Structure 1
Amino acid sequence: MLPKKRLVLTLVYVLTSMFVCAQKFYNKDVNALIKFDKTSEFTIFSATAENLTYSDLSLRYEFMVFKKDSADNTAKSLQGNRFFLEANEKKILSSITLNNVIAGKVTLLLLVYPVLDGEENTGAISKDRIEVTSNKNGQLQLKLDPNRKELLREEAQDGIFLQGLVVKKVLTKSGRDFYKYFYAEYFNKQIKTEKHIVIEEVPGQRRSTRISVKVDGQLVWQFFSQPKKDYLTKMANTALDRSIRYLQQLQKQKQTLTRY
């Protein structure tokens, strides 16, 4: 019996070690995050994914909702699909709305899988999980995954999240249009940062103007303006990608400093 017990213990140790090692690699290349927006009666939960690499990725997601009532009966719903993320892109994948008064418990689980050469039989590379309950006063209670890559400061009970601003300092209609296209994508991607982004337009050459985009005072993109919509849209997308990349670099530096 002794050798068999040792074999079982060894197997348990190996499996546990493999699981712990696998945990370390979650959210390394893709950050899966369930974001939420509370109102007085409802809360909207949005499944999001952010590409943390400089390469385009083909991915698949599963957004699962488990509802357990007071009698321990569980119902499951699932949303999922393939999607594509460009380098440093952030995307909203799906969303659900829950009443703030919940009988029992609701668990939301987001998993993101890579799609390699058309194959989907691979393990998840990114995940997030939230447990939702109501207290005796009918207030929504959220239990977050402790391994979340992003700190949602608006969730802190004793803190205030100061949202960064997208500041407009433009001179012409082209500058105003560029700001509009830039801010629309900034809003759609639900970017939350305390850093300010400044869009500034100054006189340039040959009756043109030069538009620059700065994040926290650092220049990330500049170009000479043109009135064409396609051109300004392309410049807005490029400027936003550069801005996101720089914000990610700042976040990594902050995490490194915190670690040491």
Structure 2
Amino acid sequence: MYKTRLHSLPLFFLLLLLPCIALSQIYNTEVEANINIEQHGNSYSITSSAVNKTVSNQSLHYVLSVIKNQDNNSNTSKNDQSGRFVLEIGEKKNLSTTTITVNDNERVIVLLLIYDDEDTPLGMDRKVINATEEDLALQKRDSIERERAVNLSPDISTKPVDGVMISGIVTEDTKTKPGRDFYKLFDQKYRLNNINGAEVVTIKEVLSLNNTTKIEILVANEKVLEFFVRPQIEFLKQMADIAIRKVYWFLHQYNERKHTQKYY
């Protein structure tokens, strides 16, 4: 629910400096905050969202602030919307959608902050409507810093094939019904968690001793996990959960290594 307050000029200038303050800390590495703004005349639709980039579920809360300032008025009005939410591994979730009207003489800052249960800020995004040249310069600098220091998410495709970027591919090479059941469970969780990795994930079933089989999970042709197949569905569900965490963490580290090699 929105609350409206009046704030003094010093606070407004503090908000102007937020991009510079943010660059001195590493936000968006564990949980990434995003603001999307669509314009329709003088109306602006604002959607806030968050992405979990860790290998565990996250219990979080957010504050979305809309700060308005008019050219002929030193006071600012600030509307806050807040809420609690949970993100599963690799999940992207929309947090709120609101529409505001902005006049030509109004400058509006939209700020999204995401905190953990201990009120530690993990994610931040900031957009400006009717931005000044200084705003645009700060946003450009912030975008560069995000690209260099933050963009480690495994859902970003980096491998072009025939000029087309592909991602989120899970291939199957199974031999038994339990093997196929595991593949279906894994593939479903992979899609639901929105992991969408740039590297191909392969579910491979191989023969073992005493007429048993093993499942091997490969990412970019590297073995991430293997286990002996058992037909019980609860066992396969448990292994699918473990495999999702292993694959997500591998993709995160794999992209981090590629990112480090790119810039260093």
Q: Same fold (TM over 0.5)?
A: yes
CA distance in 2, matches of 1:215, 1:256: 19
Q: Does 1:128 align with 2:125?
A: yes
For residue 125 of structure 1, give the secondary structure of its aligned residue in structure 2. strand
Which residue in 2 is equivalent to 1:80? 83
Question: In structure 2, what residue type is equivalent to 1:114?
Answer: D
CA distance in 2, matches of 1:182, 1:35: 31
CA distance in 2, matches of 1:182, 1:192: 13
Which region of structure 1 is more displaced relative to structure 2, 203-212 or 103-112? 103-112
Query: Is the Cα contact below 8 Å between 1:213 and 1:219 reproduced in 2?
Result: yes
CA distance in 2, matches of 1:165, 1:193: 8
Q: Does 1:206 align with 2:210?
A: yes
Distance 1:79 1:232, change over 3 A: farther
CA distance in 2, matches of 1:173, 1:24: 50
Question: In structure 1, what residue type is equivalent to 2:61?
Answer: Y
Query: Is the Cα contact below 8 Å between 1:59 and 1:112 reproduced in 2?
Result: no
Give ranges in structure 2 of 5+ residues lacking alignment. 1-16, 37-44, 69-75, 131-138, 158-162
Which residue in 2 is equivalent to 1:34? 34
Q: Does 1:178 align with 2:182?
A: yes
Q: Does 1:165 align with 2:169?
A: yes
For residue 83 of structure 2, give the secondary structure of its aligned residue in structure 1. strand
CA distance in 2, matches of 1:150, 1:80: 25
For residue 219 of structure 1, give the secondary structure of its aligned residue in structure 2. strand
Quote the RMSD (CA, aligned, Å).
Answer: 4.2
Higher relative contact order (CA 8 A, sep 6+): 2
Using the size of structure 1 for normalisation, the TM-score is: 0.62
Which residue in 1 is equivalent to 2:26? 25
Distance 1:182 1:132, change over 3 A: farther
CA deviations on 1:22-47 (whole Å, 9 max, x unpaired) are 7332234x1314398xxxxx998642
CA distance in 1, matches of 2:127, 2:21: 20
For residue 90 of structure 1, give the secondary structure of its aligned residue in structure 2. coil
Shift of 1:188: 1.4
Question: In structure 1, what residue type is equivalent to 2:62?
Answer: E
Give ranges in structure 1 of 5+ residues lacking alignment. 1-15, 37-41, 134-142
Using the size of structure 2 for normalisation, the TM-score is: 0.61
Of the candidates 222, 239, 243, which is equivalent to residue 243 of structure 2? 239
CA distance in 2, matches of 1:165, 1:175: 18
CA distance in 2, matches of 1:173, 1:35: 44
For residue 246 of structure 1, give the secondary structure of its aligned residue in structure 2. helix
Which residue in 1 is equivalent to 2:14? none
CA distance in 2, matches of 1:66, 1:22: 21
Of the candidates 194, 198, 201, which is equivalent to residue 194 of structure 1? 198
Which residue in 2 is equivalent to 1:7? none
Which residue in 1 is equivalent to 2:13? none
CA distance in 1, matches of 2:67, 2:22: 30
Distance 1:95 1:123, change over 3 A: closer
Distance 1:128 1:21, change over 3 A: closer
Question: In structure 2, what residue type is equivalent to 1:113?
Answer: Y
Query: Is the Cα contact below 8 Å between 1:67 and 1:75 reproduced in 2?
Result: yes
For residue 222 of structure 1, give the secondary structure of its aligned residue in structure 2. strand
Percent pairwise identity: 25
Question: In structure 1, what residue type is equivalent to 2:125?
Answer: D
Query: Is the Cα contact below 8 Å between 1:197 and 1:214 reproduced in 2?
Result: yes
